[in-house]
Amino acid sequence: MSPIKNIFDSASFPDLLVGLTTPDDAAVWRLSAEQAIVVTADFFTPVVDTPYEYGAIAAANSISDIYAMGGKPFLALNIAALPEDLPSSYLSEIMRGGAEKAKEAGVVIAGGHTVKDKEPKYGLVVIGFVNPQKMLSKGGLKIGDALVLTKPLGTGVITTALKQEKIEEVHLKEVVASMSELNKNASLLALDFNLTGGTDITGFGLVGHGLEMAEASNLQLQIKFDLLPFLSGARGYAEKGILPGGAFDNQHHYGRLAKFDRDLDEAWQMLLFDPQTSGGLLLGVPHSLLAEFKQRAGELNQQVWVIGEAVAGEGVSIV
């Protein structure tokens, strides 16, 4: 149990729609019947070597939590912890990368805070608006919903290969492009079709975040492994044991709650525990809307993969 639950009683804050009692992607505070504020914060150490790309990826990752709630981001603050000996040009490029990605999202960065630290860390506090009656949540899935993923998996494995200097250039370019992509169009799709169930796939991997949705929605996520999209190279690196420590942490924490087909070997299973940086959205789409949803996704140049279905039961099942 979170220690703050003993300090803040959710019943005392009726306008706090999300934050104390549910494990969702951002806090939501109701302003009126049709408008609420969405607030999130995220930052992390570098996942790539180039400062500009690091800044852009960190910003896209931070803003994603607003999109994962069906919100529209508009304001942000920088969070940075930087070594004293870091060249000023590196700092400028990190900030520039974050600022240009924020501008792409329609977000203005209006200041922030920086401290000294031995290892670089960068991210954003992001604020957005959402209609509380059209909000996405982890508890919004319904039995029969198709499970739709909007980005391929494998960022943790591939960036680990980069850290170990074992990566191929083609795989590096692909993972940077994926992590830098905003979830803006994916969120717009969810709003256009009045979807209720959604989250973004980040540090807990597909299985971890899938289990959060299954528990919050009181159903089972049945995922068909053959339909899952992976970044090229992810399988090969996993087979060589190039896996981030977070994948093993996720396996330890969530592994007993997930059911895997016996034909899936360890490398494939670990890819489903792989922590994602700036991953895609996982959405529940009613089957009656699926064909139209996929057509609209094509018009927006938004990739989508139908990876399974929400069914009666509990937990996550990989078949």
**CA–CA gap between residue 205 and residue 201 (Å, rounded):** 6
Residue 20: per-residue pLDDT: 77
What is the pLDDT of the chain when averaged over all its residues? 95
Cα 180 to Cα 183, 184, 227, 319, distances in angstroms? 10, 12, 23, 30
pLDDT in tens, 287-313: 999 999 999 999 999 999 999 999 999
Tell me which of 116, 133, 150 is where a domain ends: 133
User: What mean pLDDT is predicted for residues 196-208?
Assistant: 97
Residue 219: per-residue pLDDT: 97
Residue 2: per-residue pLDDT: 62
User: What mean pLDDT is predicted for residues 254-277?
Assistant: 94
As for how many domains the chain has, the answer is 2
Tell me which of 113, 133, 153 is where a domain ends: 133
* Domain enclosing residue 166, as ranges: 137-318
User: What mean pLDDT is predicted for residues 35-63?
Assistant: 97
- Same structural domain for residues 171 and 311? yes
- Same structural domain for residues 86 and 109? yes
Instruction: Specify the CATH number for the domain of residue 272.
Output: 3.90.650.10
Residue 9: per-residue pLDDT: 80
Residue 23: per-residue pLDDT: 67
Q: Is the pLDDT of residue 185 over 70?
A: yes
The DSSP secondary structure of 221-276, one letter per residue, reads EEE-GGG--B-TTHHHHHHTT---HHHHHHHHHHGGGEEE-TTS-HHHHHHHHPPP
Tell me which of 78, 101, 133 is where a domain ends: 133
Q: What are phi and psi of 242, to 5 degrees?
A: -85, 90
User: What mean pLDDT is predicted for residues 146-159?
Assistant: 98
- Same structural domain for residues 146 and 261? yes
Residue 12: per-residue pLDDT: 85
Tokens at 231, concatenated: 């970044």
- Same structural domain for residues 212 and 95? no
Q: Is the pLDDT of residue 21 over 80?
A: no
Residue 222: per-residue pLDDT: 98
- Same structural domain for residues 167 and 116? no
- Same structural domain for residues 266 and 231? yes
- Same structural domain for residues 98 and 182? no
Q: Is the pLDDT of residue 230 over 90?
A: yes
- Same structural domain for residues 124 and 144? no
- Same structural domain for residues 87 and 220? no
User: What mean pLDDT is predicted for residues 16-28?
Assistant: 81
Q: Is the pLDDT of residue 46 over 60?
A: yes
- Same structural domain for residues 202 and 288? yes
* pLDDT interval class at 7 (50, 70, 90): confident
Instruction: Specify the CATH number for the domain of residue 58.
Output: 3.30.1330.10
Q: Is the pLDDT of residue 22 over 80?
A: no
Neighbours of 292 (CB within 10 A): 12
- Same structural domain for residues 245 and 313? yes
- Same structural domain for residues 182 and 289? yes
